């Protein structure tokens, strides 16, 4: 496992961060708690020392699973969680008001069984709440010893710059994959200049970039692959098959998986400190962890880029 300095913090985190949205059991076709706990413990054994979660994942269930899984583990594991996203049934709304933020953090501490959260992140922007109010409350939580570092999630360059004008936030969690390269326009270079750690989520394009689907699958309307990731829909699906074919060829030549190629591609950018990859079982974990054991060559990166531009323009 490779490790990287996390922005301007004192944390050295694994380049693979264990994503745990699936552990919540609500948006990815369900999850088995025993299997989730086994995944966490095996990930730590493989050198993964960074776990990302949120109160919104299964209404806190993901955090409870992580808290249970880490009982008795002596290795230092950095926990990143989030705040400011309220889910009530089908209602999802951002709430970064000071009161809600504090409630989220204190709830996370209890569920995780920890005295301190290593990294707290504003889950999504909240246009109703002044950012200075949100960050001011988080700063209080740092002074109280309940939080070590403050980060943001899904903040574009403008909001990230605004946040930096209030407090020295250390990270921004953004979606980044061969299917979603929006942050290349300004966030990546800006983050390098400012010393901000980028946590890249969605590197496998909701599963499409694993290459495991020969035919377009169908998921329930409540599944994240139908709601959050749109890559299974036409006309994107047909185009995606060509790019996946390129990854398949490189993977076959290297005797690795297409998923490893996709993750390796994300990690190839200097701004990306850690790549958040979710998994529901030990087999998927094995693939994710193996993606750090080698590096794409410049020629392979250029081949992928050439295919991407040919397909997507």
Residues β-bridged to residue 94: 85
> Which pTM was predicted?
0.94
CA atoms within a 13 Å half-sphere pointing along the CA-CB vector of 111: 24
Helix (H, G, I), strand (E, B) or coil at 31: coil
Residues β-bridged to residue 88: 91
Domain enclosing residue 8, as ranges: 3-212+260-295
238 lies in a domain? Answer: no
CATH code of 19's domain: 3.20.20.100
156 lies in a domain? Answer: yes
- Residue 88 binned pLDDT confidence (cut-offs 50, 70, 90): confident
Is residue 65 over pLDDT 90? yes
pLDDT digits (tens, 9 = 90+) for 264-293: 999 999 999 999 999 889 999 999 999 999
Cα 89 from Cα 303, distance rounded (Å): 45
pLDDT digits (tens, 9 = 90+) for 175-210: 999 999 999 999 999 999 999 999 999 999 988 999
189 lies in a domain? Answer: yes
250 lies in a domain? Answer: no
181 lies in a domain? Answer: yes
Count of domains for the chain: 1
235 lies in a domain? Answer: no
pLDDT digits (tens, 9 = 90+) for 232-251: 888 888 889 999 999 999 99
227 lies in a domain? Answer: no
Cα 87 from Cα 108, distance rounded (Å): 15
61 lies in a domain? Answer: yes
Active site residues: 57
């Amino acid at each position: 496992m490779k490790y990287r300095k996390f922005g301007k913090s004192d944390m050295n985190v694994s380049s693979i961060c264990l994503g745990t949205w699936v552990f919540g059991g609500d948006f990815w076709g369900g999850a088995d708690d025993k299997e989730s706990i086994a995944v966490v413990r095996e990930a730590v054994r493989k050198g993964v020392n960074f776990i990302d979660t949120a109160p919104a994942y299964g209404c806190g269930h993901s955090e409870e699973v992580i808290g249970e899984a880490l009982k008795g583990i002596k290795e230092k594991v950095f926990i990143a969680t989030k705040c400011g996203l309220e889910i009530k049934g089908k209602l999802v709304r951002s709430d970064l008001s000071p009161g809600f933020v504090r409630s989220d953090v204190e709830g996370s501490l209890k569920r995780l069984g920890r005295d301190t959260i290593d990294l707290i992140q504003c889950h999504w922007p909240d246009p109703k709440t002044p950012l200075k109010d949100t960050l001011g409350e988080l700063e209080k939580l740092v002074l109280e010893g309940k939080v070590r570092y403050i980060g943001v999630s899904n903040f574009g360059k403008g909001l990230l710059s605004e946040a930096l004008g209030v407090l020295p936030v250390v990270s921004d969690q953004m979606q980044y994959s061969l299917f979603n390269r929006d942050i290349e326009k300004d966030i990546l270079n800006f983050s390098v200049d400012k010393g901000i750690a980028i946590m890249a989520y969605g590197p496998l394009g909701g599963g499409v970039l694993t290459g495991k689907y020969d035919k377009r699958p169908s998921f329930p309307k409540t599944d994240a692959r139908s709601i959050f990731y749109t890559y299974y829909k036409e006309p994107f699906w047909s185009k995606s098959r060509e790019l996946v074919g390129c990854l398949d060829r490189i993977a076959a030549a290297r005797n690795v998986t297409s998923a490893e190629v996709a993750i390796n591609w994300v990690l190839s950018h200097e701004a990306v400190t850690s790549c958040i990859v979710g998994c529901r079982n030990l087999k998927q974990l094995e693939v994710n962890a193996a993606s750090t054991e080698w590096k794409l060559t410049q020629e392979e990166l250029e081949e992928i880029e050439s295919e991407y531009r040919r397909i997507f323009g």
